[in-house]
Amino acid sequence: MIVKVNTGTVSGLVGYRVIVEADFSNGLPSFDLVGLPDATVRESKERVRAAIKNSGFEFPAKKAIVNLAPADLKKEGTQFDLPIAVAVLLSTGQLKANTDEYVFVGELGLSGEIRAVNGVLSLVSGAKENGFKKVIVPIENAREASLAQGIDVYGAECLADVYSHLMGEKELEIFKCDLEKIFKEASSYDMDFSEVRGQTALRRGVEIGVSGGHNILMIGTPGSGKSMIAQRIPTILPDMTIDEAIEVTKIYSVAGALDSGMRLVARRPFRSPHHSASAVSVVGGGAKAKPGEISLAHNGVLFLDEFPEYKKDLIEAMRQPLEDKKITVTRAAASYTYPCNAMLVVALNPCKCGFYGDPSGKCRCSETDVRKYLGKISGPILDRIDIQLEAASVKYSDLKAPKGESSEVVKERINAARKIQLMRYRNEKITCNAQLTGSLIEKYCQIGIEESEMLKSAFDSIGFTARAYTRILKVARTIADTEGREKINTMDIAEAIGYRNLDRKYFT
Ligand SMILES: Nc1ncnc2c1ncn2[C@@H]1O[C@H](COP(=O)(O)OP(=O)(O)O)[C@@H](O)[C@H]1O
Ligand SMILES: [Mg+2]
Ligand SMILES: [Zn+2]
């Protein structure tokens, strides 16, 4: 009897429907599995055969054909074992049930246990979009799958349990998720902004940056707290929307980067790839065309500490994806696209020894050395940075200063500023000021005569490049938003001009 069982495959982050067709007929005993890449077929066949036998069922000595359709869809992963096994049981009459409304996903172990697979959230979201109401997944993936919402998720431990469920003998457990609870649990950290003493200007600049989603650069002597501040940025990032969280979770799931037991990536990611990391691990790709660090930072922060230490080819590899906010990785005949819309935070010392410009006069680097050292940041990367901050050395009196404001207080202000932006741009397909471009800047960053005169004289006296102009307007927009003002005033412009430290001091 020919039977059909539903499953899926993931391409990029999207789950597509796959149908397993099975037919057992009289003839020379054989087991043909078609529609999968060669190596996968061999392994899957052995697992399915052993799992069926070891679960107390029979794999009849008949002419068996199993086909995965559609043929032209590239199928990846080990999640086909379970649906193939179910198709075999149906086709051989051992399982008598209607499975039309189910989607099955899972790898089988030789003794019939069901093992976790990658990309489950994408698979289940795809199943839901295709109108399915029920999905059976490995129990370890069930929490993750339940994030898809609006589809019944059953978690199964072994093939025999799936059989009992379908036969109506013993129902599998349905997994539901309490999103509110997950978000709440995710919002506690063991670091806090209050630990940063002094550095008021730096703290303010970082707050403005996060409020508008602007890329931030911090330059200053070693020990001035650049890394310390960057590491605390996660504690003040605005809350993620459910859609954002689900998108990020899909990326982690496909990358196999979800910790076991983790369901939802409910806090904005903070990724800091080391400067010695390979280009593939940072931008993505490799044998399995997995997402890299820049995609794992999607909707969050990509922190590049000690920036001049990064190799030229790595910076070059990151440049275009960060510009496009997405990266396409190619493997064999297939290519996958992953989003990488992250806020970039860059930290660096002003020169090799770290003390260029420091009042201590310790620096012995030549002007040429300093230019060469900073050369790596100029051009393409600096072009993308809205907020350039100088980190002054920490004074003893700063460390004795009272604790700074807590992350909770800062985050509350940031959330309020982001809400204004979300509302304002609800019909523009953007979410924050940093994403404003061309005509949108004209529409939303209008300034009066006084403000334009101020900008003009800054350009004339400081010699800003044209790229600085729109960046200043966008940052001024954010500063006004942090005060809930629609109109941009001269104070906002002046502060925004102040965030062009590098342009002014090092590159003019
Ligand atoms: N403003 C500050 N308030 C409190 N501690 C600080 C501050 N700046 C630096 N520190 C201390 O000095 C250490 C080194 O700072 P770090 O952030 O690594 O400096 P940088 O990255 O600028 O070289 C921090 O871990 C922290 O203990
Ligand atoms: Mg550091
Ligand atoms: Zn130096």
pLDDT, one tens digit per residue, over 365-401 is 998 888 888 887 777 677 789 999 998 888 777 778 7
Highest mean pLDDT among 204-213, 254-263, 331-340, 424-433: 204-213
Q: Which of 66-70, 288-292, 300-304 comes out lowest in average pLDDT? A: 288-292
For the Cβ of 196 lying below 6 angstroms from any atom of ligand 1, the answer is: yes
For the Cβ of 345 lying below 6 angstroms from any atom of ligand 1, the answer is: no
* pLDDT beyond 60 at 355: yes
Distance 362 CA to ligand 3 centre (A): 7
- What whole-number distance in Å separates Cα of residue 332 and Cα of residue 32? 25
* pLDDT beyond 60 at 508: no
Q: What is the pLDDT of residues 450-474, one digit of tens each?
A: 999 999 988 888 777 777 889 999 9
For the Cβ of 228 lying below 6 angstroms from any atom of ligand 1, the answer is: yes
So what's the pLDDT on residue 264?
A: 81
Protein residue with least CA distance to atom 12, ligand 1:
223
Mean pLDDT over each residue of the chain, to the nearest integer = 90
So what's the pLDDT on residue 29?
A: 94
Q: Which has more pLDDT, 155 or 243?
A: 155
Domains observed in the chain? 2-175 (3.30.230.10), 188-405 (3.40.50.300), 436-508 (no CATH)
If pLDDT is split at 50, 70 and 90, which confidence band does 66 have?
very high
pTM, two decimals, is 0.83
Protein residue with least CA distance to atom 8, ligand 1:
225
For 233-257, the DSSP string reads GGGGSPPPPHHHHHHHHHHHHHHT-
User: What's phi and psi for 77, nearest 5 deg?
Assistant: 105, 175
Ligand 1 pocket: which of 228, 389, 400 to mutate (most atoms <8 Å of CB)? Answer: 228
Ligand nearest to the Cα of 396, by number: 1
Q: Using an 8 Å Cβ cutoff, are 297 and 307 in contact?
A: no
So what's the pLDDT on residue 109?
A: 97
Q: Using an 8 Å Cβ cutoff, are 288 and 255 in contact?
A: no
**For range 111-133, the mean pLDDT:** 94
Q: What is the pLDDT of residues 131-153, one digit of tens each?
A: 999 999 999 999 889 988 889 99
Protein residue with least CA distance to atom 5, ligand 1:
196
If pLDDT is split at 50, 70 and 90, which confidence band does 262 have?
low
For the Cβ of 198 lying below 6 angstroms from any atom of ligand 1, the answer is: yes
Distance 301 CA to ligand 1 centre (A): 20
**For range 74-94, the mean pLDDT:** 94
If pLDDT is split at 50, 70 and 90, which confidence band does 261 have?
low
* pLDDT beyond 80 at 507: no
For the Cβ of 197 lying below 6 angstroms from any atom of ligand 1, the answer is: yes
| Atom number in ligand 1 closest to CA 230 | 17
Distance 440 CA to ligand 1 centre (A): 39
- ∠ CA 191-346-316, rounded to 5°: 140
Q: What is the pLDDT of residues 21-56, one digit of tens each?
A: 999 999 999 999 998 877 787 889 999 999 999 999
Distance 220 CA to ligand 2 centre (A): 9
Protein residue with least CA distance to atom 10, ligand 1:
225
According to DSSP, the β-strands at 343-348 and 216-220 are parallel
For the Cβ of 281 lying below 6 angstroms from any atom of ligand 1, the answer is: no
For the Cβ of 222 lying below 6 angstroms from any atom of ligand 1, the answer is: yes
Distance 206 CA to ligand 3 centre (A): 25
So what's the pLDDT on residue 58?
A: 96
Rg (CA), the chain: 28
If pLDDT is split at 50, 70 and 90, which confidence band does 260 have?
low
So what's the pLDDT on residue 445?
A: 95
Q: What is the pLDDT of residues 405-460, one digit of tens each?
A: 999 999 999 999 999 999 999 999 899 999 999 899 999 999 999 999 999 988 88
So what's the pLDDT on residue 504?
A: 65
| Atom number in ligand 1 closest to CA 229 | 17
Distance 167 CA to ligand 1 centre (A): 63
So what's the pLDDT on residue 188?
A: 76
| Atom number in ligand 1 closest to CA 218 | 22
Ligand nearest to the Cα of 275, by number: 2
Please list the residues that pair with 22 across neighbouring strands.
3, 66
First to last CA, the chain: 78
Ligand nearest to the Cα of 355, by number: 3
Q: What is the pLDDT of residues 179-214, one digit of tens each?
A: 878 877 777 788 999 999 888 899 999 999 999 999
So what's the pLDDT on residue 56?
A: 96
Distance 344 CA to ligand 2 centre (A): 16
Distance 229 CA to ligand 1 centre (A): 8
Q: Which has more pLDDT, 259 or 98?
A: 98
Distance 318 CA to ligand 2 centre (A): 21
CA distances from 116 to 54, 113, 141, 506 (A): 19, 10, 6, 52
The DSSP secondary-structure symbol of 393 reads P
So what's the pLDDT on residue 153?
A: 97
The residues, ordered by sequence, that sit 6+ positions from 256 with a Cβ below 8 Å of its Cβ are 118, 290
* pLDDT beyond 60 at 216: yes
